[in-house]
Amino acid sequence: MKDNLAGKYNSIYGREFKMAKKILKDFKGDFKWSKNDYEAFTFKNDNINIIFYPHKTSAGNYHIRVRGTGNNIKDVLALLYNKSGFNCTFSFKK
């Protein structure tokens, strides 16, 4: 199924983009808005690759979920989740 919002997530998830950029500033990588279906934005550096994608909860709420690969990725994903505050932004599957 085609994602009608592909390439348009910057207007919906701008706050989350800025938050992730601030949290991961010490990792020195590139944040980019994605044009791919069901991807909001990405982060890449020499050691890690993270995809931030929209997720609808069973309660009907939307938030950003993250998945990634690379060195110590579970620690990086946990950092995103913990530093985002008391909400479900940047949740990930453990």
Distance CA 37, CA 21 (A): 21
Residue appearing with tokens 């932004």: 89
Are 70 and 94 spatial neighbours (Cβ–Cβ below 8 Å)?
no
Q: For residue 57, count other CB atoms closer than 10 A to its CB.
A: 11
pLDDT at residue 25, rounded to an integer? 94
Domain limits of the chain?
A: 9-83
What is the tens place of the pLDDT at every residue in 28-56?
Answer: 999 999 999 999 999 999 999 999 999 88
The domain 9-83 is placed in CATH, from the list 1.10.3470, 3.20.14, 3.30.310, 2.60.40, at: 3.30.310
pLDDT at residue 94, rounded to an integer? 67
Is residue 77's pLDDT more than 80?
yes
Q: Which helix (H) or strand (E) holds 62?
A: strand 62-70
More confident residue, 7 or 33: 33
pTM to 2 decimal places:
0.89
